[in-house]
Structure 1
Amino acid sequence: MTDITRLVTDQQALGVSKLINEQVPPLADGQALMRIHRLAVTTNNITYAAFGHTPHLRYWDYYPVADQGWGQMPAWGFAEVVESTVEGVEPGERFYGFWPIATHVVVDPVRVSQRGFYDGRDYRLELVSAYNQYQRVHTDAAYRPENEDYQMLLRPLFITSFMLADYLEDNGFFGARRVVISSASSKTAYGTVFCLQDRDDLDVVGLTSASNKAFVEGLGCYDQVVGYDGITGLDPSVPTMYVDFSGNDGVRATIHHHLTEQLVHNCYAGSAHNHEHINEAEWTLPGPAPRRYFAPDQIRKRNADWGPAEVTRRFNEAQLAFIDRVQQPDSPWLTVEEHQGLEAAQTLIQSLVDGRVDPVKGHVVVL
């Protein structure tokens, strides 16, 4: 029997968590016991948790919890095989994937290949495939041991950024000549801008809070940085699309009222501040109703267009370039802060829920 500890979250109060201890019985055939080593815990985890019951996400369903109203929050990171009854998944191997915030987890590896495996538990097969595969580090062309923290902090966000930039280009930016991006200090937002940096036919405007404005200006990737109180100073005659990473109702209303005639598209890419859904049936603002962007949709399209191997090659190349940029010693966009143990993870999660985080820091939980 193996003792494991899990951090579970109150689904109605995301800053509230508790630790539960369990014993795992001996492995059955077709199972592997993984020891979770390190995890990246970011605002993105909080966003996913807030939308955890939506049909396209089902965030709480990856690692079910018996206690009603509580959920197991997953996070991206690295784990090693402790014990296995599955051929091709050997003790000591290290895998990257979507793990629970816990000391250990039992998985049912299927479709085992050189690349890795999928978790074959019945309920997992109904969930989004991108979150159900586990990559061997020694066959991952973009893996660098010294970049583990950056990989797990940035890859899950950067795949959204990379595919969002591709989605916008694929749609000709919906005819816009200016792209306005809220929550410009978020990693997903500036990752998207990084992927658009070679375009000279677009004006990219970052919207941010007064407290984060200096940080966003220091990134140097936006053509213009505007505080949320400066939206009405934007030229209303320029065809504009809005990429909404904030979910802030007031910001959205100001943009729609100010840019009504020239607002060509509202791309709802995430929510850093508002944990409620936009109900299109109740849409009353002038201009286009928001259209949700979901990275797996664009991944599926490009897998069909280019083939999975080419999608992976392009993404790996961009990811390595992005990681190299964010950790440049003379002007880093991101520094790593480690938190030791599950108790420290509880404090970190509460801080993320409360918005008490420095945008230049990336948070890693070491178990």
Structure 2
Amino acid sequence: MRDALSVTSLRTRKDAVATSRLDTVSMPLPLQAGEVVFRLDCFALTTNNLTYAAFGDSMHYWDLFPTGEAGWGQIPVWGFGDVVLSSAEGIAVGERFYGFFPIASHLKVRATRVKPHGFSDAAEHRQLLAPVYNHYQRCSADPAHQPGLEHPLLVVRPLFTTSFVCADFLADQAFFGAQQVVISSASSKTAYGTAHCLGAHPGITRIALTSPRHQDFLRSLGCYDRVLGYDELASLPATTPTLYLDFAGSPDVRAQVREHFGPALVYDCVVGSANPSGEATGVRWPDPRPTFFFAPTQIQKRRADWGAEGFEQRLRAAQTRFLRTISDPHQPWMQIRHGQGFAAASEVITELQAGRTDPRTAHVVSLADA
């Protein structure tokens, strides 16, 4: 019997996410009772992962998979992992699970609340975040899981969950009295997923703010009522009650929006940030102050309102509609680019951080043979 397992991981500079290096450590064996070891198979990489890095300290994302090394962390990703070792009752070697992983060859967790649909990691350092981040979904008991659609699901599932609950939160609050929603970084997948969901509310005008090179792409989607460049913001009526939905994390764009709309700005909602320094600008904004949207809070509310199964049914139905839309063979919204190994992951992170990715492109990285 082995007394250790070699684990390779991609470590990232917390203050410079484009800087990364490989690290290899030994995981002691045998396992303690209740422990499970996953081998990470594949995962998606999007600007959502950069949001985790940008808010890594304040929102405790860096605490999920600590390195024990000052200044270096592991960016969490949503992926599929296969059980290679298990001392937990009800979890068998060879089973496949969906959940949160570090970009690493293996992950050891301590299983608790083991049920037919999955289990949670009881590791103490993971309890500062919402339970959704510690849950591992058993693929064989997951109605949304289809082996032939794993890669599109990897990209869409975490992003669209945020899109769905964000749109639901705004509707639940009657859009704070707004008549239009202005969305920055509108070509991000979470942003246009939110716009897609907002289509269920025809009284709300959806306005995209984007760079010139993405305008044609966004117009082709049909989920925005207007598509504008950042320099065209002034063309909007300044007196219309407006809700700002921020996916860019840019203080400059926020300042432009606030200056233009003034008292007509009724709510300033921060959903994501492609800017790793997004939480450290030091700017104190007047009311309405920027408010970070935390998806798990709305999920917990709707689970209480609708019941856990009621929430899941609504989410699955909306996700299925979205998947059908983006996978339309005549006009697909998304094309998946596959990468292999840690070097591919590092390259994609650098591209995302630099904003060089095509908005139609989605990235899935496999470590199966890495």
Alpha-carbon distance in 1 for matches of 2:282, 2:26: 46
Whether the 8 Å contact between 2:50 and 2:275 is mirrored in structure 1 is: no
| Structure 2 residue aligned with 1:35 | 39
2:165 is paired with a residue of what secondary structure? helix
Aligned-residue offset at 1:216: 0.9
- 106-115 or 318-327, which moves further after superposition? 318-327
Alpha-carbon distance in 2 for matches of 1:361, 1:279: 30
Aligned-residue offset at 1:350: 1.4
Alpha-carbon distance in 2 for matches of 1:79, 1:150: 16
Identity %: 45
User: Where does 1:1-367 land on structure 2 (aligned, <5 Å)?
Assistant: 1-26=4-29, 27-54=31-58, 57-273=59-275, 275-277=277-279, 282-284=284-286, 288-367=288-367
Alpha-carbon distance in 2 for matches of 1:64, 1:332: 38
Unaligned runs of 5+ in 2: none
Aligned-residue offset at 1:276: 2.7
Deviations 1:33-63 (A, max 9, x none): 1111001111111121121000xx2011111
Alpha-carbon distance in 1 for matches of 2:338, 2:278: 30
Whether the 8 Å contact between 1:269 and 1:292 is mirrored in structure 2 is: yes
Q: Which runs of 4+ in 1 moved over 4 A?
A: 278-281
Whether the 8 Å contact between 1:35 and 1:104 is mirrored in structure 2 is: yes
Whether the 8 Å contact between 1:96 and 1:136 is mirrored in structure 2 is: yes
1:314 is paired with a residue of what secondary structure? helix
Alpha-carbon distance in 2 for matches of 1:307, 1:278: 37
Q: Tell me the amino acid that sits aligned with residue 64 of structure 1.
A: P
Aligned-residue offset at 1:171: 0.6
Aligned-residue offset at 1:278: 7.2
Whether the 8 Å contact between 1:246 and 1:274 is mirrored in structure 2 is: no
Alpha-carbon distance in 2 for matches of 1:213, 1:300: 35
Whether the 8 Å contact between 1:79 and 1:95 is mirrored in structure 2 is: yes
Sort the Cα spacing of 1:169 and 1:351 in 2 relative to 1 into closer, same or farther, 3 A.
same
1:75 is paired with a residue of what secondary structure? strand
Whether the 8 Å contact between 1:47 and 1:275 is mirrored in structure 2 is: no
Whether the 8 Å contact between 2:50 and 2:273 is mirrored in structure 1 is: no
Alpha-carbon distance in 1 for matches of 2:343, 2:273: 26
Alpha-carbon distance in 2 for matches of 1:13, 1:273: 11
Sort the Cα spacing of 1:276 and 1:106 in 2 relative to 1 into closer, same or farther, 3 A.
same
1:179 is paired with a residue of what secondary structure? strand
Aligned residues: 363
Alpha-carbon distance in 2 for matches of 1:33, 1:250: 45
Q: Taking structure 2 as the reference length, what is the TM-score of the superposition? A: 0.94
Whether the 8 Å contact between 1:82 and 1:91 is mirrored in structure 2 is: yes
Alpha-carbon distance in 2 for matches of 1:278, 1:160: 23
Alpha-carbon distance in 2 for matches of 1:347, 1:23: 26
Alpha-carbon distance in 2 for matches of 1:191, 1:113: 31
Aligned-residue offset at 1:281: 7.7
Q: Tell me the amino acid that sits aligned with residue 73 of structure 2.
A: G
- 268-277 or 129-138, which moves further after superposition? 268-277
1:112 is paired with a residue of what secondary structure? strand
Sort the Cα spacing of 1:124 and 1:288 in 2 relative to 1 into closer, same or farther, 3 A.
closer
Deviations 1:231-254 (A, max 9, x none): 000012322111111121222122
Unaligned runs of 5+ in 1: none
Q: Tell me the amino acid that sits aligned with residue 9 of structure 2.
A: R
